[in-house]
Amino acid sequence: MSALVTYQLRGSIAVVTIDNPPVNAISQKVRAELDAAVTRLSEDTNAVAAVITGAGKVFIGGADISEFGKPPQAPFLTEVLTRLEDCPKPIVAAINGAALGGGLEVALATHGRVAVSSVSLGLPEVTLGVLPGAGGTQRLPRLIGTDAALDIITTGKPVKGDTALALGLMDEVSEQPDLLDAALRLAEKIAQAGAPQATGLRALPAQPANGFDSIRSKVKASAPGQVSALKAIDAVEAATKLGRTEGLAEERRLFLELMETPQRAALIHAFFSERKAAHQPDVAGLMPEPFTEIGVVGGGTMGAGIATAALSAGLTVTLIERDQAAADKAFETISGNLAGAVKRGKLSEEARQSILAEKLTTSTSYDALSTSDILIEAVFESMDVKKQVFAQLDAVAKPGATLATNTSYLDINEIAASTTRPQGVIGLHFFSPAHVMRLLEVVVAEKTSPAHTARAFALAKRLGKIGVRAGVCDGFIGNRILSHYKTATDHMVMDGASPYDIDAAVTALGFAMGPFQVSDLAGIDIGHAARQRRKPFRHALERSADYADRLFENGWLGRKTGRGFYIYDTNSQKGRINPDVLPLIEAERKAAGIKPRHFSMEEIQRRYMAAMINEAARVLTDGIAQRPSDIDVVFLSGYGFPRWRGGPMHFADSQGLAKVLDDIRSFASDDAHFWSVAPLLEELVANGQTFNDLNKASTKDTNS
């Protein structure tokens, strides 16, 4: 078995390299070999110090998450790092790439740290439902202070090497190829100064400036329902009261408690599901055609957002509009989007200026797209308009170019058939704002070739988005399922539930917003248009629930008009209940001859989730989604589903599919929407299977 940790003397300094592709994750074998390397160092009479570094582009990507949920195996990282820290010879970390979770904890246990300025350093454990469990909550506050440590630990957000230097987390920043030499020099210097100081044995860190409880309140507000960050605060508080040994023991206790929570299982499921979504059986191993130039047709909100996303990823963009005024307006929108990135510290002002000067071209002529590698149309949602645009793209695009539509529901097979190159036509369904939302539904049409599919997923990764493959149908994955739980919501309103109780019930599940708050945000006119469009296809059993059309007719379109289901005064983001809505709904119920009844919060939640899961099961059966976890990824990254619940399919498994099926059957007694149960759901329950069983089967066939 090849070594995962090598030990090589450079003069009198041992270079210890962790080489466990693809991210040097700390598996049991890595822990054991790192432990052995530290022992070897302390016994090696030819060595006065050591430098630890990572092979490849990552320093250490953390503990091996695939070991989570399995019985812990010695040696435990906490103990390995205490022995490392107590080594009588200094050990310096040469941080060549991302140092995350246990990776940063290894660096914290060393006696000196040198990093490349561009690397990410962080403790993302709370985003996985756990906490830094190998000394991070004890050493980081001792090194950079309690407040700065709490910010890094409770947000899970990484910092770059240069910020780490300013915080005192790094001793030096050095660029490749000098990084190792800089670390060797630092190791030499510390060795000459005598016995190295163990960070974990420094004085107790101070209390946070505003006390731990103020941090707890902030965390509760920012991640309602999630427990990991709160327990991480408890571990840091222990660091301010206990010495290293007791503090590490408390940290371990809290870590193991979190390891057992359903939230940890859900968050790890989300982590791996996002990566699994990129595994496509028909494109495995295909090298996507390279791309550098993106063409965008349409400079409205979506087109400008897509252009912004591509520009922010370093790609060149040519955007065309129907006339110069519209092209200029698109330019201004993109400039404003990039200014937002500057404000958020994601981009420097000079980078913004150079992007606008060198990377963005606007034009009113299709000929300007003749060199684009990927052309994306984001024009009005009308099949005739799309076909006209694709006819023009087909005429000017270079051979091998990918022609993509951003449509959210139109039939892409029909659009492809209107071109001479259907194999190059694909759907790229961005979510608004396109330069912010991580989800990208990659809609693969019947004739789309694997090469263009592979390129679309490479584009998603390049844009920092999560690509999820979808088949062609009305609404693809997310919006198709949304239309069903929205119908169930409408039926509850007509039968007596208040929109405000429904919003409260859905946010109590952990969603950032309820359906009516979303409706106000997106615009009640959007919902109205969707209802008009779907009316001809409305299932005979669907009841008309057009109460929202009454708001539309009153001109109450939501935030954009300051009034919808809620009233938005200038200084109130949240909005207050619009008192005219309930009387309007009561009139609709009366006209329909409905005697309203009460809906408890629990029943609202069960109906909402049952409708979502039922349609999601149909989406799987129809082959619109490849696997249940892909549906989870769609809802986690595009629809505000609480990440610590893992997505609708993981949630269904955790509730028990038999219970979900019982719910659907019981709701069918008063709501025809539940009359058609998804056959897959009945089949899984009959076979005692879960959606995750389908995920495992899918992974087997895509790990090719």
- What is the SS3 assignment for 408? coil
**Min CB(399)–ligand T1G separation in Å:** 31
Cα-Cα-Cα-Cα dihedral of 78, 83, 89, 93, to 10°?
Answer: -20
Cβ closest to ligand T1G, residue 100 vs residue 664? 100
Q: Does 100 bind ligand T1G (CB under 6 A)?
A: yes
Q: Does 545 bind ligand T1G (CB under 6 A)?
A: no
Q: CA 390 to CA 397: how far, in whole Å? A: 10
Residues 6+ apart with CB under 8 A from 311: 317, 334, 338, 355, 359, 360
Q: Which of 38, 114, 128, 374 touches ligand T1G (CB under 6 A)? A: 128
Q: Which of 93, 119, 130, 613 touches ligand T1G (CB under 6 A)? A: 130
Pairing of strands 402-405, 374-377: parallel
Stretch that binds ligand T1G, among 129-137, 241-249, 353-361, 662-670 (CB under 6 A): 129-137
Q: Does 159 bind ligand T1G (CB under 6 A)?
A: no
Q: Which of 66, 214, 365, 572 touches ligand T1G (CB under 6 A)? A: 66
**Structure tokens, 389:** 């645009």
Q: Does 152 bind ligand T1G (CB under 6 A)?
A: no
Stretch that binds ligand T1G, among 7-15, 127-135, 409-417, 604-612 (CB under 6 A): 127-135
Q: Does 422 bind ligand T1G (CB under 6 A)?
A: no
Pairing of strands 13-18, 5-10: antiparallel
Q: Does 266 bind ligand T1G (CB under 6 A)?
A: no
Q: CA 682 to CA 86: how far, in whole Å? A: 58
Q: Does 126 bind ligand T1G (CB under 6 A)?
A: no
Using CB under 6 A as the binding rule, the residues of this chain from 267 to 326 that contact ligand T1G are 272, 275
Cβ closest to ligand T1G, residue 372 vs residue 692? 692
Residues 6+ apart with CB under 8 A from 490: 543, 545, 547, 548
**Min CB(163)–ligand T1G separation in Å:** 17
Cβ closest to ligand T1G, residue 58 vs residue 191? 58
**Min CB(266)–ligand T1G separation in Å:** 15
Number of residues this chain uses to bind ligand T1G (CB under 6 A) = 26
Query: Which one of the listed residues 33, 85, 125, 251 is annotated catalytic?
Result: 125
**Min CB(77)–ligand T1G separation in Å:** 5
Cβ closest to ligand T1G, residue 77 vs residue 215? 77
Q: Does 105 bind ligand T1G (CB under 6 A)?
A: yes
Q: Which of 13, 15, 37, 63 touches ligand T1G (CB under 6 A)? A: 63
Q: What is the b/e burial string over 120-148, where b = at least 16 CB atoms within 10 angstroms of the residue's CB?
A: bbbbbbbbbbbbbbbbbbbbbbbbbbbeb
Q: Does 467 bind ligand T1G (CB under 6 A)?
A: no
Residues 6+ apart with CB under 8 A from 671: 488, 491, 495, 607
**Min CB(62)–ligand T1G separation in Å:** 2
Largest CA distance in the chain: 92
Query: What is the sign, positive or negative, of the torsion defined by CA atoms of 555, 557, 563, 568?
Result: negative
Closest CA to 514 of 453, 459, 574, 469: 574
Q: In what order do the strands lie in the sheet with 439-443?
A: 360-363, 316-320, 293-297, 374-377, 402-405, 425-430, 439-443, 466-470
647 contacts 635 by C-beta, under 8 angstroms: yes
**Min CB(467)–ligand T1G separation in Å:** 12
CA angle (141 as vertex; 136, 143 as ends), nearest 5: 95
Q: Which of 90, 129, 133, 422 touches ligand T1G (CB under 6 A)? A: 133
Q: Does 124 bind ligand T1G (CB under 6 A)?
A: yes
Q: Does 62 bind ligand T1G (CB under 6 A)?
A: yes
Q: Which of 16, 48, 65, 652 touches ligand T1G (CB under 6 A)? A: 65
Q: How many residues does the chain have?
A: 704
Stretch that binds ligand T1G, among 62-70, 314-322, 430-438, 584-592 (CB under 6 A): 62-70
Using CB under 6 A as the binding rule, the residues of this chain from 17 to 36 that contact ligand T1G are 22-23, 25
Q: Which of 98, 191, 341, 604 touches ligand T1G (CB under 6 A)? A: 98
Catalytic residue at 105? yes
Pairing of strands 360-363, 172-173: unpaired
Q: Which of 5, 77, 443, 466 touches ligand T1G (CB under 6 A)? A: 77
Residues 6+ apart with CB under 8 A from 591: none
- What is the SS3 assignment for 467? strand
Query: Which one of the listed residues 85, 105, 251, 441 is annotated catalytic?
Result: 105
Residues 6+ apart with CB under 8 A from 347: 312, 338, 341
Query: What is the sign, positive or negative, of the torsion defined by CA atoms of 488, 684, 276, 274?
Result: positive
Cα-Cα-Cα-Cα dihedral of 458, 332, 559, 408, to 10°?
Answer: -30
**Min CB(270)–ligand T1G separation in Å:** 11
Q: Which of 52, 58, 169, 664 touches ligand T1G (CB under 6 A)? A: 58
CA angle (229 as vertex; 223, 233 as ends), nearest 5: 135
Cβ closest to ligand T1G, residue 25 vs residue 173? 25
Residues annotated as part of the active site: 105, 125
Residues lying near ligand T1G in the complex (CB under 6 A): 22-23, 25, 58, 61-66, 77, 98, 100-102, 105, 124-125, 128, 130, 132-134, 136, 272, 275
